[in-house]
Amino acid sequence: MSVYEVGLRLRGKTVLVVGGGSIAGRRVPRLLAAGARVRLVAPEATTTLTDYAAAGELRWERREWRSGDGDDAWFVLAATDDPAVNAAVAAEAEAARTWCVRADDAEASDAWTLAQTAFDGVSVAVSASGDPRRAASIRDAIGAALHAGDLDAPRTRTAPRAGVALVGAGPGDADLITLRGLELLRRAEVVVSDRLAPQELLDMLGDDVEIVDAAKLPYGRHTTQEQINAVMVERALEGKFVVRLKGGDGFVFGRGAEELDACVEAGVPVEVVPGLSSSIAGPAAAGIPVTERGVVHDFTVATGHVPPGPQSKVNWEALGAGNGTVVLLMAVKNRGAIAEALIAGGRSPDAAVRIVENATTKNQTVRECVLSDLGVTEAHHPAVIVIGDVAARARTLPRTDRDR
């Protein structure tokens, strides 16, 4: 069946949704994102739709559909579980020359909701002669190709807006960067990158993109934070769009706040794109939840780059006295001293420990020991150290095709 694809600009226009089930629950968020004024008519609704109504994002009339409900509507979605009601809604809409989608019967519907995906300002909608599964499959393939860069979606030749994006790239695997982070990275004219940021992401950049290696190696050669701040600000003030690419999340022991302040103080437009923090994602990749129902009700993330003592701002005694999970970042060098401080605070010398190195990458390694042996157990940067009962319950994850 042939159709004429068209994009509806629904901002400020009333859309009638009849039915409050799962189909309406999937369609309404897109209608709201398009700026539509959604009026929901249904005696019952999903939790998501109920929450939208409670927040004032849509108007919910908690009753059965009545003739005339669509008189002020520009667009109608008939999504009840009663074909007779859907048919009546669609017939009335057609008589009023209002486009209506029947969610239960594509053949009887005068309009279809297309399978849609979006990336970097590009929206792609797919129809497949009324076959929603086929349309969704093609949509997913196009979306994956856009996100992976296999399908190019070049922008018009206008310079990106000058400024800085502070992008967290995630715990190690290049695929774990957020969609927003990847979108901004593709626009970058200058990228200031750390060693722990997935280097594969840099391969997708054009030859005209300036790459600045921040080279912040732990306990070794490094570029001062002041120099990094200066490079970002200077390039942005020259009219460039700069991405500061960091492993994990730059606001979790990543000095992202200092970089944000530098941009704000210089009057440079700045956007923060959070990343998956290795403090949680690293253990998860090794099958270790930092919390688990019935096992532990709290966890603490601490930096170990400063050993216990007057210079450390961590209350190691309190962490030792607690029962929660302790997650350590940047603690390989000082792990022995940290273990001694936790034991002195009351933590059992036999507390379970897992050391997750190169989390989420093909080189991921998990080592286990007890707290008293942490200082003499082999460990290498970059590593996340997990201490507590959840570490004793670590799972051995089956290998996937991705690991082979």
Closest alpha carbon to 268 in 199, 190, 210, 202 = 190
Look at residues 91, 65, 92 and name the one whose alpha carbon lies nearest to residue 80: 65
Separation between Cα atoms, residue 87 and residue 95, nearest integer Å: 12
**313 in active site:** no
The residue annotated as part of the active site, out of 69, 104, 173, 194, is 194
194 catalytic residue (yes or no)? yes
* Cα angle 283, 285, 287; round to 5: 70
User: What is the spatial distance between Cα 133 and Cα 130, in angstroms, rounded to a whole number?
Assistant: 9
**326/349 Cα distance (integer angstroms):** 14
Task: Return the bridge partners of 303, or none.
Answer: 329
Q: Which of 141, 81, 79 is nearest to 109 (CA)?
A: 79
Catalytic residue among 104, 173, 216, 249: 216
The answer for residues whose C-beta is within 8 angstroms of residue 335's C-beta and 6 or more apart is 304, 328, 374, 375, 377, 379, 385
- Among all residues, which ones are annotated catalytic? 194, 216
